[in-house]
Structures are given as C-alpha cells and as structure tokens.
Chains A and B, each alone.
Chain A
C-alpha cells in the first residue's frame, strides 16, 4: 500500500479525504487508481490528452517525480505521494 496526500483545495473532489491508501506499482498507476476511486478529481489532475496538468506537481517523499522517472517512477510499500497544485490566493 502507498499513501497519496490530497491537498486541501482538491479534497472536495475526493469526498473530503485527506489521504487515500491504495496499491500501485508506479506513479501513473497510483494516480489512475486515485481518479477511478474519485472520478471528480480527474479533470483537475489530467488534461484532455490524459497528461498530468502543468500546474500540478507530484512529489514522492520530498522529491519531484520529474527528477526521477516521471509517472513511470516505481513505488514501493509505504511510499508517500503528494499532489501539489498551484494556488494563487483569493482571486483568480
């Protein structure tokens, strides 16, 4: 099992869960699995081409998965994945 931390702005699309625990062998599988549990999250994480949006970063522990093997980065038992979206403040 790995843990995905849901940031506060996205919790309303994830049944107000702060974290989701699931089985996944890599980052891609983890995020796919997350959006199949909480489909409302999907448009916030993926663009129309099913690519992770550029205003969303995924961190494995304290490292950006971009610096590893991207979404192909392998996960092991107990890993912690954080979703970090861009936030701007009160106005848009």
Chain B
C-alpha cells in the first residue's frame, strides 16, 4: 500500500455505510481507511469468488481487481450468488462489476476478462496488495501460488470439492518480515490427472463455496487491517457433510523449489505441463489412437437403424438427470463388465463431455482386445447443443 492513510477521507454517506465497522473498537476508522487504501485481486468469480467479492465490496475495499475468462452458465447459479438468471451468457467480470457497483459505488473495480497464465500473472499480481485465489483447477492454483511468492504478495486461499473445504493464508508477511508457508509447502506437486475426478464426476454442494469464500473474505480483511491472527501457517479443513472442522499446523518444506533451503525456481513455469495434463495425449498415443464419432454421425447411425452398442460411462445420478438411452456402466466398473460389450458390433462410448469415455476407451485398449470402440466427441453436452436442445445440460 503506497497511499498515505492520513490522506484517506470519507464522505458522510461512506461513514454511515461503514458505521458497523467504525464502532468496533479494534477496527474503527483506521481499519476502514486501510480497507479503502487497499488493492485486492480476486482470481476467479465462481463459487468462492461470489461471496468473496460481495463481502469485500460491501466492506469497502478501495480497489478490487477481478479476473475471469468465462461467461455465466445456467449451471453456475446453484452456487455463484453474484449472478442472476438474466446474466446467463454474459462475461462474468462484466456481470460482477455491474452487481458489485450497485452494492457499493465507492469501490473502484478493475476487470480483466482473461485467463490468468504464466505470461500475464506477474504483471497483474504485482499491481495488488493482497491476492485471493478462488480458482478451480490445479494448474492455476500452482500458478497463483508461485506468482504471489515471486511477487512477494499474500495469497488468501480456499478450495472446495463436494463436501470438503480447505482454507489458508499463504506467504503471509509476519511483523518481523519473515514469510509464512505457501501452497507448495503443503502440496509440493499436484495429483496425477487420472487420480482426480473431473468436474462432472466431482460436483460441489452449493453452500460450501459460500462458506469458504466468506472465510477468505474475512482473512483478506484481517490481512489488510492487521486485525486478529491470520490463518497463516495453518490449514483450515471443513467437512460439510459431517460438520467437522479441523485446523492443522503448516510448516515450511526445506525442499520447496521457491522458498526452500536451495530454491531452484526463480520464475513462472508451464503449469499445464507441470500438472501433467499433457501426459494424456502421450499415453493415448502410446496405446493407439482413440477413434471418435461426432453427435451428428451418432444421430445418423440411430436414424439409419445401424446395429451398434451405446455405452454410458457416467454415474447413475448423472444418468438420472439426462441420458441417451445407452447402457449404463460407470467408468470405475467398466473392467468388471467387459462381457457386456459386444465385439461383433461398433460400440459408442459416451459420458458428459467426452473426457471420461476417452479414458475408458484407452483403458479398454490396454486391457482387452476390443477394437470397435468409438468415443462420442463432446459427450452428452454436444448432443444437447447440436441434436436435441430440449434435453437438460448439467
């Protein structure tokens, strides 16, 4: 923060607006001035970003940067309470700015309709005091962590999956100038891609990001004002299904490539590669190419009365939402059901987006002699988009 707090003034309307802060003895007008002088960058306007942005704007953070590349989708509204039904199809950053400006016109919003990557991250992050990570994938998690460490910024972190939430304050600057642990002290490397369920298999209870995003907002405000004890050097874990909360001690890893005893990494890297996402193609190539058909071709096969098998490798609860009348064999059970696959006819395998079915075909190529397998490109989502828009997408 380069702004002299003495120069920060409030109008009558602002004093009234923030009065519930001003009458907290430990917070008072000094805390409010620090908020107004602060610049916070919120990365991701999803489930975490929604409450985070709403509370930071309401609290009176002076400048809020908002980064997201996506547009509002109907399936976002179950948890992304920043948006309304009318916003569907609009760029998220624009819808967010409109909603948040209506909430608090005294906040200056800087929107970035882009995907954060290794080329733009340092420049963007350097312009802010505190970074709040509300992203939803491993490559961006590591990118945000590394960029905040390299730029010397505090990273207020939260992450969610189904019923599980985690939060921490990374790279916190203690009064003695030392820095707290960061994400790589906790998880040096991400899980191999095959081990993480994709978004369609994953899912999340809508309220959970609301809870974790609110915790993040609280920590951002504490970091800015210096109030209380930040969640630095600690990992908060929340199990929303059993209602269990735990706090674990986070310590520094001497092998951390950024902040360990012998740092080896001085700049940002290729995070898609780091997270091993490219391995998918190489493994696929090694095991023979996965044949694909489009939804249009599938529709032609159906209309022509061609004899083939349609296998749906999603979970039963997904099948109940929408299905194409295929035989349901969830991905994890496919090897136990190889006998159900007819080697005499073509077999079309599909899932929601085409990713799981691709993995299943790879697996079947490795473990069986089946050659007549076709992946439905784009999965059931493409079918809804191109063939039957009356079916629901999820």
Binding site for B on A (CB under 8 A): 5, 7-9, 18, 43-44, 53-55, 57, 59, 62-64, 66-67, 82, 84-92
- Across the interface, do A54 and B193 meet the contact criterion of CB distance under 8 Å? no
- Across the interface, do B246 and A89 meet the contact criterion of CB distance under 8 Å? no
- Across the interface, do B251 and A84 meet the contact criterion of CB distance under 8 Å? no
Q: Give CA–CA (A21, B250) in the complex, Å.
A: 25
Given known contacts A62-B248, A67-B251, A88 and B141 CB-to-CB distance under 8 angstroms: yes
Q: Give CA–CA (A62, B239) in the complex, Å.
A: 16
Residues of B within 8 A of A92 (CB): 137-138, 193, 196-199, 202
- Across the interface, do A62 and B198 meet the contact criterion of CB distance under 8 Å? no
B154 nearest CB across to chain A (Å) = 20
Q: Give CA–CA (A63, B137) in the complex, Å.
A: 27
**6 closest pairs, A vs B, by CB?**
A89-B136, A87-B161, A86-B187, A55-B191, A8-B164, A8-B163
Residues of B within 8 A of A7 (CB): 164, 237, 239
Which range contains the number of B residues in contact with the other chain?
35 or more
Binding site for A on B (CB under 8 A): 46-48, 135-138, 141, 159-164, 166, 186-191, 193, 195-199, 202-204, 235, 237, 239-242, 244, 246-251, 253
Residues of B within 8 A of A85 (CB): 191
Which residue of the partner chain, among A9, A57, A82, A88, contacts B137 with CB atoms under 8 Å? Answer: A88
Given known contacts A53-B191, A62-B248, A92-B193, A84 and B237 CB-to-CB distance under 8 angstroms: yes
Residues of A within 8 A of B241 (CB): 8
Residues of B within 8 A of A84 (CB): 166, 235, 237, 248
- Across the interface, do B136 and A91 meet the contact criterion of CB distance under 8 Å? yes
Number of A-B contacts (CB under 8 A): 105
B190 nearest CB across to chain A (Å) = 6
Residues of A within 8 A of B246 (CB): 62, 82
Q: Give CA–CA (A54, B183) in the complex, Å.
A: 12
- Across the interface, do A59 and B138 meet the contact criterion of CB distance under 8 Å? no
Beyond the given A88-B159, A89-B48, please list 18 additional residue pairs across the A-B interface where CB-CB is below 8 A. A7-B239, A8-B163, A57-B248, A63-B248, A64-B249, A64-B250, A64-B251, A66-B253, A82-B248, A86-B138, A86-B187, A86-B191, A87-B164, A87-B166, A88-B136, A89-B161, A90-B161, A92-B138
Q: Give CA–CA (A10, B163) in the complex, Å.
A: 11
B262 nearest CB across to chain A (Å) = 18
Given known contacts A62-B248, A92-B137, A86 and B160 CB-to-CB distance under 8 angstroms: no
Q: Give CA–CA (A49, B253) in the complex, Å.
A: 21
Which partner residue on chain B sits nearest A53 by CB separation?
Answer: B191
Which partner residue on chain A sits nearest B159 by CB separation?
Answer: A87
A-B contact pairs, 10 of them (CB 8 A): A7-B237, A8-B240, A9-B161, A9-B164, A54-B187, A82-B246, A88-B196, A89-B46, A89-B48, A89-B160
Most central of B47, B137, B195 by chain A CB within 10 Å: B195
Which partner residue on chain A sits nearest B48 by CB separation?
Answer: A89
Which partner residue on chain A sits nearest B186 by CB separation?
Answer: A57
Which residue of the partner chain, among B137, B189, B248, B249, contacts A89 with CB atoms under 8 Å? Answer: B137
Residues of A within 8 A of B47 (CB): 89-90
A73 nearest CB across to chain B (Å) = 14
Residues of A within 8 A of B235 (CB): 84
Q: Give CA–CA (A36, B103) in the complex, Å.
A: 54
- Across the interface, do B164 and A90 meet the contact criterion of CB distance under 8 Å? no
- Across the interface, do A55 and B190 meet the contact criterion of CB distance under 8 Å? yes
B87 nearest CB across to chain A (Å) = 18
